[in-house]
Amino acid sequence: MMTKAQRNKIISAALHLKEHDHIVTAWPESVSGPGWANRLIWVLVQDGNGKLRRECLQPDEQTSEMLSLFAVAAAASNAITTAVKATIIEEAGYDMWKNL
């Protein structure tokens, strides 16, 4: 069994974290296509100069806590995204994302 320190080292490497980086937020996303599916956790990282970048944790890089929170976090993320889009559509009078 992997220790917590070993797991943290793997996650830090997967996120390409450097000394002055910090995690701003993270959100789950289920993606799929013909014959495949994946459950990703996207992580927004800010470096010491304020530059933002997006990194990704694959399922085998996720902790048991991340895996157990995935469904509820995905539902909340989808709900807030839908609410923001609906507000923009209502305000603009058209669906600027209809082709996405």
Query: What is the tens place of the pLDDT at every residue in 48-93?
Result: 999 999 999 999 999 999 999 999 999 999 999 999 888 887 776 6
Number of domains in the chain: 1
In a domain, 52, yes or no: yes
In a domain, 100, yes or no: no
Q: Given this model, what pLDDT does residue 94 score?
A: 65
In a domain, 30, yes or no: yes
In a domain, 99, yes or no: no
With a cut of 60, say whether residue 99 has pLDDT above it. Answer: no
With a cut of 80, say whether residue 13 has pLDDT above it. Answer: yes
Q: Given this model, what pLDDT does residue 54 score?
A: 97
Residue 8 CA to residue 94 CA, distance in Å, equals 45
The boundaries of the domain holding residue 86 are 4-92
In a domain, 98, yes or no: no
Query: What is the tens place of the pLDDT at every residue in 15-41?
Result: 999 999 999 999 999 999 999 999 999
pTM for the full predicted model: 0.80
